[in-house]
Structure 1
């Protein structure tokens, strides 16, 4: 397939990956690849700067249908990160974080690839990552996902590896949920809390007729049209998570465990452009 972006558009710092020996070690991600304890965010951290400084790492599934090299999937130029989608995996922060407000501003370009060419455009942010990368299907890491998918912006996914290792933490969260018409869990403020160990909690108004089709839309969906900007925010305070999408609260969790870890941004066969990817202090009121 013809390459999308010429070499000149790549950021040089993204061409330098962490040593393969470090990637092969598969250290638990709870403290981050840097090995430092999780730090509360007390001043703005631009994740683009972490990328430029090499304070990140990648895990892409080499056996997936799409498996371009990481430096050809995550392209940082000037003030925008293009995620081509031609791979399945993540770009992670090397450090571990807690107590922050995460802001991601993004847009779909329209491109989709491979087996997902006619499926809903899909991506996501992985929070509180821990355990070995690739533990879930050779691609993902145990974490809690803030979903970025057409028709499901702000869905929450509790991801556990299921590895038979007593030393690996259990991802879990308590969420106020109701059961929708199709028997799926959906966030409902004030409903009884359920402890979730695996699976998805749909955002408050996700439509029961949602189908995995490109361009899927319903009247209550909050996302902007293709090519226009969206804002996803995650407030991580202690053992709680709050998701906001385009200014509206769409999901919430309590008793989240673990409550810290590296942060990952996914690639899942749909091209997405990110113009803002920042961690802010919890007490910062300005957007």
Structure 2
């Protein structure tokens, strides 16, 4: 008995140590249909809060949606909200909440909320249209992302719920975790593919949604409660999704839209064939075209052999091909070559389309189009240079190595950043029109920029500035390929996880 008591105490202490305290605002205001299951949902969340040492506030007061009050929370949980529940200033406060890297969780009728607010519709990924009677249906579970919200489920699961048909196809920028098998119930309207649970990154924040949760019984179903629990943990950055292994993954294989989003910036005044282009636009100020809105087809996936693709970027409008996933501790390898076309406002400048990594925060952080990030510069004669965008920074010391029996400085400008940038040690780019191999190796805040097999830059202590709090590590994020006024081609974009910087590069790591 005494031993069992000791083990119980140890178990409880371990749970306390490894539980990460977060604050959640469970918001259940309704301006339309009110679900009787809201109270059951609150009870389920409260049990999870006790289990995980979370702080939870339950409210239907929209006045909490201001910068000061929302700053107290890590997660917004829209529990079966409905209708138009936020005014314009409250909506802006919610946008600011996302911009600070916070998280959002929505259940069931969160998609029947703020249906006339475009930002919210894009953020959530779908809008409720209709539903048939409550009934059983089979869900197909997608585990390829490694998301813990579905790790406990079988490949097929049957649930009883109220199954939503959405107004439009679910947005391309979401990562689908479960789809409804429309052959297993009546009243379906979405077609062959009917997502019902998903996650994604949006405007700086993390978003998790499940269409389950109409009934009281749903919040007593351990499968659904576990899904909500893990959705909260991911949205709060307690857990991460890692889609990589130690083997190379081709990010242009199969359906490329499975791995990539496109964000388009502000058209320059020289852009033709688009409505409402500001005749005074410099390509930076104004309203961006937005997420997966590329009317000029600046980004194009070209089908190659064996289900692989290449990427053609025209460069006409500033934009970013952006990975749907965040990555950390990896080796990225790709091939790149220049095209011929150049566009205003860079007609007289070098061709330039950088590789951005550790990208976090909203789009529009830099020049109204790119995220906060580190940059491996891809520019004519300057491949491998370093730039820091949107508040990012790194240490770039000069390092001397022995080459052909003689000492040589291999990167940095006297070990200092100048205006957020640093030159590579030498130009190792091939002649115009030839394919170049670019590699990025990044591990725990240290990064190597490698051009055609040669290390031309090393960075240490990757971090970003946090307003009023100094700096914070910047070691994880999305990947972006710029469109910045020049035609360019990419192919063979390969990535794999690593457990450290390969030993053969040790000579570059001595600060």
Alignment partner, residue 141 of structure 1:
371
Looking at structure 1, the residues matched to 270 and 254 of structure 2 have their Cα atoms a distance apart, in angstroms, of 26
Q: How does 1:1-287 map to 2 (within 5 A)?
A: 17-18=172-173, 26-28=203-205, 37=240, 39=242, 41-42=244-245, 43-49=247-253, 52-65=256-269, 70=294, 72-78=297-303, 79-161=309-391, 171-177=392-398, 188=410, 199-205=420-426, 221-257=427-463, 258-282=474-498
Offset from partner CA, 1:5-45 (integer Å, 9 cap, x none):
xxxxxxxxxxx8538xx99952348x9xx967253732322
1:38 and 1:260 in contact (8 A); partners too:
no
Structure 2 stretches lacking a partner, 5+ long: 1-170, 175-198, 209-233, 275-292, 304-308, 400-408, 464-473, 503-511
TM superposition score normalised by structure 2: 0.41
Distance 1:148 1:191, change over 3 A: closer
Count of matched residue positions in the alignment of Structure 1 and Structure 2: 232
Alignment partner, residue 94 of structure 2:
none
Distance 1:152 1:116, change over 3 A: same
Looking at structure 2, the residues matched to 40 and 281 of structure 1 have their Cα atoms a distance apart, in angstroms, of 9
Structure 1 stretches lacking a partner, 5+ long: 1-15, 162-170, 179-186, 206-220
Distance 1:223 1:136, change over 3 A: same
Looking at structure 2, the residues matched to 64 and 265 of structure 1 have their Cα atoms a distance apart, in angstroms, of 19
Looking at structure 2, the residues matched to 120 and 104 of structure 1 have their Cα atoms a distance apart, in angstroms, of 21
Offset from partner CA, 1:90-137 (integer Å, 9 cap, x none):
011111001111112011122212222232110111100011111212
Q: CA RMSD in A?
A: 3.3
Looking at structure 2, the residues matched to 189 and 267 of structure 1 have their Cα atoms a distance apart, in angstroms, of 26
Q: Relative contact order (C-alpha < 8 Å, sep 6+): which is higher?
A: 1
**Structure with more strand by fraction:** 1
1:86 and 1:270 in contact (8 A); partners too:
yes
Which secondary structure state, in structure 2, belongs to the residue aligned with residue 86 of structure 1? coil
1:50 and 1:93 in contact (8 A); partners too:
no
2:326 and 2:476 in contact (8 A); partners too:
yes
Distance 1:252 1:25, change over 3 A: closer
State the structure with more CA Rg.
Answer: 2
Alignment partner, residue 13 of structure 1:
none
> CA offset at residue 70 of structure 1?
2.5
> CA offset at residue 237 of structure 1?
1.4
Which secondary structure state, in structure 1, belongs to the residue aligned with residue 354 of structure 2? strand
1:113 and 1:270 in contact (8 A); partners too:
yes
Distance 1:240 1:117, change over 3 A: same
Offset from partner CA, 1:147-175 (integer Å, 9 cap, x none):
000121100111125xxxxxxxxx23111
* Segment drifting more, 253-262 vs 276-285: 276-285
Looking at structure 1, the residues matched to 412 and 257 of structure 2 have their Cα atoms a distance apart, in angstroms, of 44
2:172 and 2:257 in contact (8 A); partners too:
no
**Structure with more helix by fraction:** 2
Looking at structure 2, the residues matched to 260 and 23 of structure 1 have their Cα atoms a distance apart, in angstroms, of 15
Which secondary structure state, in structure 1, belongs to the residue aligned with residue 396 of structure 2? strand
Distance 1:225 1:188, change over 3 A: closer
TM superposition score normalised by structure 1: 0.70
